Each structure stands twice: as structure tokens, then as C-alpha cells.
Structure 1
Amino acid sequence: MRQSEVHALACEVCGRLPHPRRTRLTLAKLAAVFPVELALHALVLHLEIPYLAAVAILTVTTTILVIWVVEPGAMRYLARWLHGPELSRRHRLDSAERLWRIRVRLDNKPGRLELLAKQLADRHANILTVHVHHLEDGVLDELVVSTPADVGPPRLTTAINRAGGTAVGIWPASALTLVDGQTRALGLAARVANDPDELPLVIAELLGAQYVSTVDPEFAPHGTILEIAPMTFVRPEDPFTPAEIARAHRLADLAQLAVRQD
């Protein structure tokens, strides 16, 4: 358990642990080396061997023991204490609440969203934002929720199913997801008005989609395609809603207007 916790701090690229704090590293080395030095000196003095021989024995023996035996062993044994501050921060990070972006299909009936909110609340999931997209065969609700560290997609999916909904997707989110949607859309529109050539990138950012020049036929069944001539956007397994399509077309209209004024 001790080693596995410490190993979690290792760099994913090089596999090395972070360098311990200097004070703790110094104390750990002193604690490891001092008893060995003391025991070796006491033994050599007790044997009363010639001075030069005593110096040679102490030098060679101490060097070998400290470098290859004592210090590595002490670093492994004291690893948890050496990396205590980093482990503490890692524990706080792992136990912090998480943000999730959820898209769920619901029947367009009274009480469905309330039932979903209750099921999420039973799992200590707090709804932070809700956007409702009306579809022909129901509604697509987009929510941002915060949950305890032990509540992940499986439990959120269970809550959605018990509320009578169908999970379209559950993705990790960040604080940027909580930025007001209207403010974000206005900022993107300003980018298009200032530079119409930004239109493809702005639409891709607005929709969370990929701007592509051509569509791979093998990919099409697994994703949703939106074409705004001459542009094509793809978003895997996450359908574009009528509201999103309308916003993309309005941005395209704004770009054309900006070109005409130039």
C-alpha cells in the first residue's frame, strides 16, 4: 500500500518520482548513514588495527554500504515520509469534487427533468447548469454537474436510466464549461466579425466538433455530420441539435456580412 501510493506520484513519461524536499532528504540521509558510520568506527577502533589500514577500511566499507546498500534502502523505506507533502496534495486533488458534462435524451413530458434531478441528487450530484434543446421526438438536456470523487459515469448513467432517460454522452468538464453560454457565443461572434476567415475554427469551437475537408465514409456511421457549404463538421456519437445548427448558420451569415462590408 505504501509503495503503491508513492508510485502514483511517478512521472508518466520518465517514471521518476518528484525530488523530495531538501530538508526531508537531508534528515533521511543522516538517519540512514549515521548509525552505519558509528558502528563501523566503533568496530575499527575496537580492533586496534594500524592507522592507514583503518582509514582504508572505513573509506571503502562506508562508501560501498552507503551508496549501494544503506541509502537506497532508506530511500525506499522512508519514501512515504519523504514525499509526504506531495502525497497530501495528491490526496486532496483526488478527493476533490469533479465536473461532468452530460447530454441526456428525455421524453418531453412534465416532471421528467425533475425526476432526473432527484436521481442525480440521490448520488450527491449537484446540477450547476442546464440547457434544454427541443427535438422532434423529445428533448436533449445538456447539464454540467459536480460530483464527489467516487461518483463517475457508471453511477451517473444509472441515475439517467432510472429517470427514464438515455445518456447520449458523459464527459469530464472543467471550470471553463461554466462560462455563460451567451457570453461565449458573443465572444466567438466578435472573432468572426473581426476576421471572417476564422469562421470554420469558431464554429468548431462553438459546437465542440472537428472541422474536416473530407468525410471518411467509414467514419460517417459513427459520427454526426453538419455541412454548412463549403464547410463540414463532424462530432462523434453526439448529434447536433437544431439550436446548435441554427447558431452555426447565424455565424456563417455574420461572416458573409463582414466580407461584404470589407
Structure 2
Amino acid sequence: MTLWRIRATVDDRPGYLSVLTASLALRGVNILSVQVHTTEHGAVDDFLVDAPDTIAEADLIAAVERGRGRECWVARSEARGLADQPTRVLGLATRLVHDPDATGEVLRALLGADEVTWRPASAVTRPGIDGTTMLLADPNGGSYTLRRVAPSYTPAEYARAQALLELGATSSRRAGEQVTVVLPDGAELVVRPAVADDLTAVVELHQACSARSRHRRYLGGAGQPTPARLRRLLEPARGLTLVAATTGSGGAAESVVAMANLLAEGDEAELALLVRDDWQRLGLGSTLLRRLTRQAESAGYAALVLHVQADNTPMVRMLRRLSRPTAVERDGNLLTITVPLPPEVPAAAESAG
């Protein structure tokens, strides 16, 4: 006996699946598992079957067509195909939780893709499926494009893949979620990704900062940003915001003393810092800058962009300490500093073997 995968579309009407299975049974084909994918054009039935060695691919296609199936795709399968789909997906999800960098390999294994690539998000491309091409939004920024020769992707496969990406993004975020930072003067702070519940503490941070510090952060004035704007900064659609907080030892409440934003647009990410005045010049800004730089590199961005006042000497000095090439454009008192990031080849960009 030989294992085969068969995929075919049938009218989504009562009894049509039984007609197809009966046609296969007449040829001695044993159905081991079946998945039904609902689409606009009918029900796409995905079978794993065990067929007599005398039956060839053409015989299986003929049996499907006699059973009112159309758009038939047939391919040899391996013993690993005997694992049911929920078990396979759970196994791949477990791998992704333990190794978020394996996203590309997991997507390829899940969908049998011949090619998986990652690229920065484009404003003109939308996630979805188009025949044998699938475009997935990467929650960390950018998008994955999956291609295979056959068969065409289904909405159910798209939903599974996008759910795995969301899981991988959450795992990646939690992996580096919270660290304790010891500053040169011995002070300890917790650095972690911001959440919506940090709004009150971040409002208090801005109130505790001098007008000069707020002006250097926002450039357009020294006033207090609105809660709505701060809420968007805490949980950006693309990118990451970190907060640094005191540990609240001795029963004292935690206090946010700095906020760092990495806001992505296209293949670049804008970086900005706000450090409370009494915590400046202690190495905290440099710590946040390095962490977000590593985050931008791992996410695959091509460059960091910072808008800095020319007289903001501490910020310019911090950037120099990164020891990276920079390009500087000046417009009056405003410097636009671009820090190219070394290109990395994510696991997703490796060609399928």
C-alpha cells in the first residue's frame, strides 16, 4: 500500500462528500484522515489515503473526478503524514514557543511551502491568499510571503498560519519581557515592555520631567502629551515601547522613570527616549538605546532614525557610543540621524530544501 495526499473541491451540498469517498472506496482506497476547508467556491476536501500499489496518480485523479470532485491535486505522502493535523499544529506551536527564531521553518512545515520570505511591510500589499501565494502580517513588523507549486492555499490554512505568527510574536515578546538593570551607581531598575496599564505612571513621568526634557523628546513643544497619544505610544501598532521602573523595594510603589519608543514605518524604525531629569546621566538612556537597537536588528529593520535637537549633546554622545556608522542631516536646529543596521537573513528567508 502507498500513502497519498489528495485535495479536491466539491460542491458544498449534502451527500457530495460521500459520493467522493465512495468513488475512492471502489478503487480500494482507504481514507485515513480528512479535513474540510470551506471556501467561496465550495468545500475543499484534503485526504490522507492508503492506496493499493497498483494505483497510480492518474487513477486517483480519475476516481476523484468520477466522485464529482474538481481541481484535483495528488501527491505522494510520507509516514509522518499519519499524525493528525491538530497534533502537528500543536507540535509546531510548541517549537515556536521555545524558538521564536524558527518562525520561517515552522510556517514552511505547517503549509508545505516551497518558499518563505520575510520583508518590511508595504503599504500597498494586504495580507491574504492568492492561489498558491500567501501573504501574512508579522505582528513584530513586516510580512511573510509563502509560495508553493500546488495546491492553492485555503482560508483555513491562512487562519492557522496567522495564529501561529501571533503566538510566535507573543513568545518573542515575553522572552525578553523583563530584565533587571544595574546602573553604574548601583541603582537597580526593571526594564520591560510597556502595557496599557502603564498609562497613569507614564503620565506621572511626563509631569515629573522638566519642560526642557519634554521639548527634547517631542520637539514640537514642552507641553504634556494627551493621554490618547501616550496610549498609542505605549502599545504601538508596529514596534515596541520599553519602560524603566524602580523596583518598589521597602513597600514603595513602582515608579516609571524612563520610556523608550521604537516606532516602525516601512523598513525603518524611529527611536525616541524620555528619561526623568533626576535619572539622567546615569547610563539609563544608553541602556535603553542599546536594547531597542538590538530589538530593531532582530526584527529585520534596515535602519534606525532619530530626530534630535542639535544642542541635545547627551543624546548625540549616546549615539556616538554605539560605535556604528551614522548619516546626519541638519535642518536648522534639528538633526535627523540615521543608523544603518546590518542586514540579517531570518530563518524565514532561507530557501526551502
Select the structure that is richer in helix. Answer: 1
Q: CA deviation at 1:260?
A: 1.6
1:184 aligns to 2:97 (yes or no): no
Alignment of structure 1 residues 84-103 onto 2, 5 Å: 97-103=1-7
Report what 1:173 is aligned to.
77
Q: Distance in 2 between matches of 1:134 and 1:144?
A: 18
Gap change, CA 1:170 and 1:232, over 3 Å in 2? same
SS at match of 2:49: strand
**2:149 matched to which residue of 1?**
236
Q: Which amino acid aligns with 2:151?
A: D
Given the alignment of the two structures, is residue 254 of structure 1 paired with residue 167 of structure 2, yes or no? yes
Which residue is 1:159 aligned to?
63
CA distance in 2, matches of 1:195, 1:176: 22
Question: 1:164-190: CA deviations, max 9, x gaps?
Answer: 111431001122111021111111001
Q: What does residue 141 of structure 1 align with?
A: 45
For residue 134 of structure 1, what is the amino acid of its counterpart? T
- Report if aligned partners of 2:131, 2:153 keep a CA contact under 8 Å in 1: no
The 8 Å contact of residues 196 and 256 in structure 1, kept in 2 or not, is answered as yes
| Match in the other structure for 1:35 | none
In structure 2, the partner of 1:84 is: none
TM-superposition CA deviations, 1:31-67 (whole Å, max 9, x none): xxxxxxxxxxxxxxxxxxxxxxxxxxxxxxxxxxxxx
Letter in 2 for 1:245: Y
Q: Is the 8 A contact 2:6 2:75 kept in 1?
A: yes
Matched residue, 2:132: 224
> What is the distance in 2 between the residues matched to 1:175 and 1:192?
23
| Larger relative contact order (Cα-Cα within 8 Å, sequence gap ≥ 6) | 1
Secondary structure in structure 2 of the residue aligned to 1:257: helix
Following the alignment from structure 1 to structure 2, what is the Cα–Cα distance between the partners of residues 175 and 212?
Answer: 24
Query: Deviation above 6 Å: which 4+ runs of structure 1?
Result: none
Match of 1:80 in 2: none
Shift, 1:148, TM fit:
1.1
- Report the structure, 1 or 2, having the larger strand content: 2
Query: Identical aligned pairs, as a percentage?
Result: 39
Partner of 2:148, secondary structure, is strand
What is the alpha-carbon distance in structure 2 between the residues aligned to residue 211 and residue 196 of structure 1?
A: 19
Deviation at 1:244, TM superposition (A): 0.7
Cα displacement (A) at 1:213: 3.4
Q: Which whole-Å CA distance do the structure 1 matches of 2:14 and 2:136 have between them?
A: 35
1:112 to 1, 4, 16: 16
- Hey, what's the Cα distance between the residues in 2 that align with 1:144 and 1:205? 17
**Which amino acid in the other structure matches residue 173 of structure 1?**
S
Q: Which has the greater radius of gyration?
A: 1
- Evaluate the alpha carbon distance shift between residue 138 and residue 172 of structure 1 in structure 2; reply closer, same or farther with a 3 A threshold: same
CA contact (8 A) 2:29 2:51 kept: yes
Take 1:206 and 1:212, find their aligned partners in 2: how far apart are those partners? 12
Q: Distance in 1 between matches of 2:169 and 2:26?
A: 49
Q: Distance in 2 between matches of 1:187 and 1:214?
A: 23
TM-score in terms of structure 2 length: 0.43
Distance in 1 (alpha carbons) for counterparts of 2:118 and 2:69: 34
Measure how far apart 1:227 and its partner are: 1.3
Deviation at 1:121, TM superposition (A): 1.1
Q: Which runs of 5+ in 1 are unaligned?
A: 1-96, 216-221
Deviation at 1:224, TM superposition (A): 1.2
TM-score normalised by structure 1 residue count: 0.58
Decide whether the 8 Å contact of 1:157 with 1:167 is kept in 2: no
Distance in 1 between residues matched to 2:117 and 2:109, nearest whole Å: 16
Measured in 1, the distance between the counterparts of 2:118 and 2:104 equals 14
The amino acid of 2:41's aligned partner reads D
